[in-house]
Amino acid sequence: MGNRILIVDDAAFMRMMIKDILTKNNFEVVGEAADGAQAVEKYIELKPDLVTMDITMPEMDGIAALKAIKEKDPSATIIMCSAMGQQAMVIDAIQAGAKDFIVKPFQADRVVEAIQKALG
């Protein structure tokens, strides 16, 4: 169906917010990860259709996790999330294969729109 999603963010409340937006819009959240290393493991284990990936996290940041996941699965669909509108990080993420970028604080319609577009 193309709507199994893995949420990656080191802040539990952010994961909860995204999960809430997604479940209300009929997406299935199949897993959550609190850092990049966990994200890579869960991606391999769960094979989600899409990943929402925070950029700034302990252990392994979102860009390193994005690159690691893309190495294992070049067709992975990943949307980056960050509070920082830092152009350099956005450009790094897009060049590394991210499909889109959502800025915190999240607007529900923007999150849904980005995910629908990425799953297209």
CATH number at residue 61: 3.40.50.2300
Evaluate whether residue 101 is within a structural domain: yes
**Helix, strand, coil % (nearest 5) of the chain?**
45, 20, 30
What's the pTM value of the predicted model, to 2 decimals? 0.93
Evaluate whether residue 106 is within a structural domain: yes
Evaluate whether residue 57 is within a structural domain: yes
What total number of domains does the chain contain?
1
pLDDT tens profile 36-94: 999 999 999 999 999 999 998 988 999 999 999 999 999 999 999 987 666 788 889 99
Evaluate whether residue 40 is within a structural domain: no
The range of the structural domain enclosing residue 66 comes to 1-21+51-115
